[in-house]
Chains A and B, each alone.
Chain A
């Protein structure tokens, strides 16, 4: 007889969305990196110049290369080093997607405390993603 305890429905829904988001993130990460390394997508900063640049601080690196910050990478998908950011962004966004899909479950159960926690967590993640705390 199966005596495993039942899990909360939001936990199972969160797990399902997390699985697919993470898979999409990893596939994108590997595919774009392969294209970048193999030269299928040209690099904004030539790969052979990287050893002289990656020992600089972020600020110095950005200044020396003129690399744009924020969401500019999204509009430069044709360049390998920017395309590589897409997989990173998908992985970083997994939690947002997962929390969004469990909100209706908490709303249906009138669980105000967890609704508030979910909205606050999404607000924090979105604010960070939108560059609200960013220095530039």
Chain B
């Protein structure tokens, strides 16, 4: 079987520039088909289209530094004929699966810190159930409108958010000291070890309460919020923040996923091709950074989020069904 590195190595940036807009076009096609005649389309077209679209989403999500869930829910919710309940259920599974798959290596190479993740994940797990309960209780158009605003807000956050590779933490707060939350970041390239500690832990717990709630409500995962909160608020080194975010996501999404599963809101015909497509695309995406600038892909993802957010909002208001 051909290795993803080889496939990615052969992809020239110019080809990719054509490939990604083609993905956008593909995203629009199911919507057109849906408007024309959903019932006339053979059933197998939809899971297949979902697999292809998720494959491309996985490709761009990894180099752009966002989780798959944040792209999945607005795009699939806007351009596919599935009810938003099932899309959010699948979105949670997509976000959780990606986080679970990355977890073992992140933990073993020290890019994720379990002692940092556990207290924050506990708070986020509780609130994500609350979000899931509210999400399934509210009318779909209300959730759609709120999702549209949230996605546009995430795009704005991606445009404006600063990041700090090694934030300065003068003194750890008493709570983080009591919990023993600190570590040493090992840079494999330079071989340098950088000790780190955290501050503002109580504020972090409050923020993660909100993040978990939004994750459960919209099924979008929460990497987009976890990383800035860990990095800028708590003062965790950027790479450790990204890795630990995955661990928090794997636990917090699980509690909401159980709720969706228990309520019959996860359909395997929607969720499974999405997970498989996203995972396969992510394997290619991890190697795309060698042929394309991450900043360019990030700009593309922001453009997609703006488009999908606007579409979600208009769909919620009943303007563009």
Contacts and interface: CB of A to CB of B under 8 A. Distances in A.
Interface core residue of A3, A18, A36, A129 (most chain B CB under 10 Å):
A18
B81 A57 contact: no
Contacts of A14: 107, 114
B104 A16 contact: yes
B264 interface: yes
Contacts of B193: 3-5
A136 to B, nearest CB: 7
B118 A36 contact: no
A56 B104 contact: no
A88 B256 CA distance: 12
A100 interface: no
Contact of B268 (A3, A5, A85): A85
The size class of the interface chain A forms with chain B is 35 or more
A91 B262 contact: no
A136 B263 contact: yes
B259 A54 contact: no
Contacts, number: 193
B263 A124 contact: no
Q: Is the interface of B mostly helix, strand, loop or mixed?
A: helix
A51 B257 contact: no
Q: Is the interface of A mostly helix, strand, loop or mixed?
A: helix
Given A124-B129, A135-B263, A95 B43 contact: no
A22 to B, nearest CB: 5
B272 interface: yes
Interface string B257-286: 111011111111111110110010000000
B231 interface: no
Which 10 pairs show the lowest CB-CB distances between chains A and B?
A84-B268, A15-B107, A5-B184, A128-B258, A19-B104, A33-B272, A58-B85, A129-B258, A11-B114, A15-B104
Interface of A: 3-5, 7-8, 10-12, 14-16, 18-19, 21-22, 25-26, 29-30, 32-33, 36-37, 47-48, 50-52, 54-58, 61-62, 67, 69-71, 80-81, 84-85, 87-89, 91-96, 102, 111, 113-114, 117-118, 120-121, 124-125, 128-129, 131, 133-136
5 contacts: A26-B97, A102-B114, A113-B179, A114-B179, A133-B259
